[in-house]
Structure 1
Amino acid sequence: MSAREIVERVRAGGLGHEAALDLLTGAPAAETDAALAAALNAEFDRLFTHGWQPVELHRAIARRGDPIQGRLVAEAAAAFLIGREPVDDGWRAQAVQLKSPDGRRPDRIAVLDASLDLLSELRRLPAIEILIPPPGTPATTVHHHADRRVLDRVRALLAKAEATDFPAEAEAFSAKAQELITRYRIEEVTAPAVDVVPFARRIGVDHPYENEKASLLDAVSKANACRTVWSPELGFSTIFGFDTDIDAVELLYTSLLVQANKAMTRDEPAKGKARVKAFRRSFLVAYAIRIGERLREVAEREFAGRGDLLPVLRSRDIQVQTAMEKVFPRTVRSRASRVDSLEGWDSGRAAADEARLS
């Protein structure tokens, strides 16, 4: 059996990567490398053409813990740009961000092993929704991101919230950030009409406790006029909304997750693996629910007395819902996480009350 036939069997799922590695060890290196490169390129082309963005694919592969595979994804993203015009600025920026690190390359057997394993993994990844036009596809949308100065102020406030050891101070910073975000949204919806439409963005949700973290992201999204669809098998949520709102959601979610982990580690019980697991899950459930309540309270306070904005806010909400249903015409409401630790629930509520929203 030739090297090309062995590699194609791996790609088709008919041969495991370890068995293939044994067979290819004695095969001519040039033939093996060419066959493997062709198969990997075909899979990368399929995924990049059908929705996967460079950072998303890199995250999905890198989380498996093999740096060689992460390097291969970075190199593939850069190579995919060559000869393909036009290129969306966002897609190009992601490929540049993943620039393969310098340093001594691992030995050939290690690369061969990692490449065969990567090929097995890539073949299992499905096509996903195209949110950014892949290279070679005409751009059809123009993104409208929030004022960078506003985002910088929000980011600075949240950094202070994450850094402090005083819960009340953290709460004040976080609340101020949400106020700033809401005020900016008011400015945006009252500005002269411009051609702005909803978009979508995928945000990674890492294990452990993915369901609970996805619930936190959903709570933050709803408080900021966005909608989410959680894809647990792929490890990300897709957020629908106007770009300025999505920018704010991503910043808030990232910061609040840092604050949650800090408080959870501080309060969790010292002993018992099962007890700690139940505590953490219950903590995150309570934290997400209470954070959602607090964010909505802040937003409602800022919108108080602005009944004139209700028609435009309702119109934007319908546009976001329509955009989500166009991509995901059928969604299933996820089952709520169990709360097995009253201690964790109480601690999560308390931590959410302490969290800085500014």
Structure 2
Amino acid sequence: MPKRLFIVCVALLIPLMVGLLVLTRLGASGLRASAQQVPLPAPHEEARESLGKAHPAAARRFTGVVVAREAVHLSPRFDGRLESVAVQVGDTVRAGEILARMDTQPLEREMAIAQAALKSARVELEVARIALEEAQARLRRRSDPRQISLGAISEEELATAQFEERLATTKVVGAQVRIQEREAQIAKFQQQLDSALLRAPFDGTVAARYSDPGVQLAQGQPLLHLLRSRAPWIRFAVSEHEVPGIVPGMPVEVRIQNSSLLLRGRVEKVAPEIDAASRMVLAIASLKEEGTDLVRSGLVAEVLVAPNARAEVEPPKNFLPSSDERTADARKDLALPQGSTGAP
């Protein structure tokens, strides 16, 4: 009886084990097929592709700095006290707008003194002219040939009359010189009074303010720093062996450091000489207007130039040849006689 039971159990287990083995093989083959149909993406593949497009390995890279296209320091033209300042840092100004005013009271006093001196010099000139007319009349009387022939006028009296006439002429010339001197002094004071108002030379933005009202300023001492309101420039350095590949008109791509801002522009100027110390050449690139309102002077930027970039040169107005020129070129290419029309 136990022997028969053992045989029955073995007979039941064998089909069960065979079925489990078949199911296991079918499942493994299905998983392999699924893996072949749906391949997994390589890790960081998209990141590498995007990075490659953003920073092509063949592009030439240069480090530059953002600079204003035009900047100026406003300063007084004479020594004096600063009366008022109408702007602050960051203010936008228009060309001709009054930005500051110097105290003009000392100049006005000096102007009044100079005008009084001018009136005095004119009076002196009038007196000198009257004296000259009298001396000339006396000389004419002393020079009368009849009186000289009668012995009424001595040679000494004639010489004295001539000397007085020359002296009166010299006094007139001196008075005229003093008038010119006073007029020049008044013109100088008037120019200083006109320059007491500091005006903006162009449309721009106030970048710095160095003094407040009430302080004493010297002639030429900076008061305000203005930047022109136009797209800035990028100034970058090029090594001497890469200079031949950088020419004006070449398109560039500019990336501001520590920012995702991307700007486009082109090379405007390349310095004509190499710096002896650094063996570098300075170049300047202009930027297009889009997005430049977020760019500040002094920012560090990376300038990228494509390896196959060429200068953007506008064709001349007569770029297309005329019909006569095209006909002449065709004759030259076909080597036709001048009188031939090319018909068989």
Task: Tell me the TM-score range normalised by the shorter chain.
Answer: under 0.3
- TM-score, reference length from structure 2: 0.17
Which is helix-richer, 1 or 2?
1
State which structure, 1 or 2, has the greater radius of gyration over its C-alpha atoms. Answer: 2
- TM-score, reference length from structure 1: 0.17
Question: Which protein has greater RCO, CA pairs closer than 8 Å, 6+ apart?
Answer: 2
